[in-house]
Structure 1
């Protein structure tokens, strides 16, 4: 896909039309169809150095600030719906809204500043569409929307927004167990936005770096990145952060770093395992205390993180208790990602299957996700 405005608009037109017409379901073929390795990363590396193309004047209705503010307001509404209910319920609606926004780009007239702002609004809306599709388990389509959104952010000249979309892609790659690619995407985001990223963006990327290093068994690197994330977060002024970074609050920092410590504990066979697990429990517990009420899916993830940390040190009763809450939250939202995390917990509880609480935990998860 060329790094040009017309190519970006055409790609979004194709994606929104096909998504609204074709029904999808999650299966292993879809998950395996995502781009990975050099096939994904080589084209994206151009993002770090590409500059916005000149916007060609066109005839049509004049695009104004009210149009852009309307798209931003709708994007905020969809983000809130995603946090409360998961991505399954609203994903078709956000795709339809993106089609309308993209149509304005394709048919309206605008000056340079307004055009760049409109591309940024479409990019942000596209990141929400990709995120909902990812949460709905539609991985190939989600990746396509993320890539189109990165292109739109590039045409907007907004490297910080592009870095945000790349971290969404990194989370998807990690979810699909492409851990090296996840870490590479974070590194690309850090490099490409190095002169433009806000403290919250830099802290978020460092926290993800900590998590992915831990998954890869690189515990010292994980601890270094976690410390960097915490130091950078101390510099955050929420009033100076863009709307797309509102999700990365202290609760999200604690949850991400807490999971990194949990994963590091799994790799640690020394007596330090208990210390790492305790740190994870403290951070995840603090995240839950700080979570706003509308972050329902995040709360489910926090409880699942606590359950998995309890299992790392063989505390089956604690894992059972946290799983009960996670299952209640899972029942209230539509999220394939939460279902996938429950399935991982099911597997991790297998060594304790002769304990009644672990057996019940596995039985309940099996009933919920099948």
Structure 2
């Protein structure tokens, strides 16, 4: 008899006791450190275990759980035997998993600096398959709501995916990046899930006619996952972003795609920095640099060095940060190259200045951060509307903390002017932080006007 759904792991739930899922996840992370393991356990992961979605943990989690509960076996903890979960026999008797995000991106775990990929994330076994058939309209890969150029495509299980389908995935990636440049992530994230699910369905629908086409499909789906992850990051959905980046990294590893791997590590490092995990940010950036060394793109190496610098700044490592910035500038000055990834169009002189400003800001050197922030604003390209607001929001905060309240208020007004066109939780959060710093100076006319305007906008 075929099972009809996941079976809750009541034993594991009992072991948690009165602790919340978050508290128990913290205990798991502490236990991992005790034995030299690194797992990115959070409340969501505990929920997946208790619901039965994760029937058997990966090997890292297994070692941690057995350390936490000495003398127990996986069966004693309510898990299924690994051989019952893996392999062809298990797939013949267990239904396909319900749609769910991939596991979070774990932190660096090995001496090689690699980042482990949770084994329960099988990136090629996806949903959108009904009785062996996946129906995917080409329009579902069109992010802006218009129909794609190709006609709707019926994808039987054995259909060979060709140029039209791969081109549609690549087009979706470009559409998302273009709209993000103009509008920010808040209003786009949910809509972006549709083309991403369609891309996963294409991966599942059958083999491609040529190896080159298969490589492009994997790369396109991975880039799409990163783009959707960035929208989640920019809109404050950090767990979702982490999951999307983990999916992209898994696809890169499966396809042996160093460029995709470097991109996934680059974004994972950025996310780790923004969510208060600077050590992970450094190690992810270092892993990205290793993946990128043979790609022939000095600008990519420069960006990854700046991601490393951001992590080192978060650790308070001023010397290490300064060295990483020096490597970044040296690589950047080598100029653009034919091998520069398409997604790096945003990485110009203005972005270089902005990222350095953020490093000095994290180190508490507000005046130096403001100097680089002013350069970023002066150099920025009006094409990137979202960055027009981002750079000004960063500069507003640095000026406020440097004691330059009037200039901060003036710059803050410029950022607020752009928020009718740009929806980004990240940018709003930066302005809110600047407003809090300026509140003690609210008696000054210019500052008071900015604070009032910011408060009015925040209420609406």
In the superposition, the TM-score normalised over structure 1's length comes to: 0.79
Q: How does 1:96-111 map to 2 (within 5 A)?
A: 96-110=194-208, 111=210
RMSD: 3.3
Deviations 1:179-214 (A, max 9, x none): 222222212222343333621111001122223323
Instruction: Determine if contact 1:85/1:333 at 8 Å carries over to the other structure.
Output: yes
Greater Rg over alpha carbons, structure: 2
Deviations 1:80-125 (A, max 9, x none): 1011111122222321001111111101222433222211110001
User: 2:311 — aligned with what?
Assistant: 212
Residue 296 (structure 1) aligned with residue 385 (structure 2): yes
- Name the structure where helix makes up a greater proportion of residues: 1
Secondary structure of the 2:101 match is helix
Task: Please give the alpha-carbon distance, in whole angstroms, between the structure 2 residues aligned to 1:200 and 1:261.
Answer: 21
Residue 130 (structure 1) aligned with residue 199 (structure 2): no
User: 2:320 — aligned with what?
Assistant: 221
Match of 2:373 among 281, 284, 291: 284
Match of 2:114 among 45, 57, 62: 45
Deviations 1:345-370 (A, max 9, x none): 12332443454433443333333334
Task: Please give the alpha-carbon distance, in whole angstroms, between the structure 1 residues aligned to 2:377 and 2:98.
Answer: 37
Q: How far is 1:222 from its partner?
A: 1.7
User: 2:101 — aligned with what?
Assistant: 15
User: 1:114 — aligned with what?
Assistant: 213
User: 1:26 — aligned with what?
Assistant: none
Instruction: Determine if contact 2:292/2:300 at 8 Å carries over to the other structure.
Output: no
User: 2:135 — aligned with what?
Assistant: none
Deviations 1:110-164 (A, max 9, x none): 2433222211110001101111112222221221111111111222322222221
Residue 237 (structure 1) aligned with residue 339 (structure 2): no
Residue 185 (structure 1) aligned with residue 284 (structure 2): yes
CA change 1:11–1:81 in 2 (3 A) is: farther
CA change 1:12–1:80 in 2 (3 A) is: farther
Match of 1:247 among 305, 325, 346: 346
User: 1:76 — aligned with what?
Assistant: 174
User: 2:431 — aligned with what?
Assistant: 342
Q: How far is 1:79 from its partner?
A: 0.4
Residue 369 (structure 1) aligned with residue 369 (structure 2): no
Q: How far is 1:230 from its partner?
A: 0.9
Secondary structure of the 2:294 match is coil
Instruction: Determine if contact 2:115/2:284 at 8 Å carries over to the other structure.
Output: no
CA change 1:136–1:312 in 2 (3 A) is: closer
Task: Please give the alpha-carbon distance, in whole angstroms, between the structure 2 residues aligned to 1:81 and 1:170.
Answer: 23
CA change 1:189–1:209 in 2 (3 A) is: same
Task: Please give the alpha-carbon distance, in whole angstroms, between the structure 1 residues aligned to 2:98 and 2:226.
Answer: 12
Task: Please give the alpha-carbon distance, in whole angstroms, between the structure 2 residues aligned to 1:60 and 1:142.
Answer: 32
Consecutive unaligned residues of structure 2, counting only runs of 5 or more, are: 1-56, 59-85, 126-155
Bigger RCO of structures 1 and 2 (CA < 8 A, at least 6 apart):
1
Residue 315 (structure 1) aligned with residue 404 (structure 2): yes
Q: How far is 1:14 from its partner?
A: 3.3
Q: How far is 1:12 from its partner?
A: 11
Across the two proteins, how many residue pairs are aligned to each other? 332
User: 2:158 — aligned with what?
Assistant: 60
CA change 1:223–1:78 in 2 (3 A) is: same
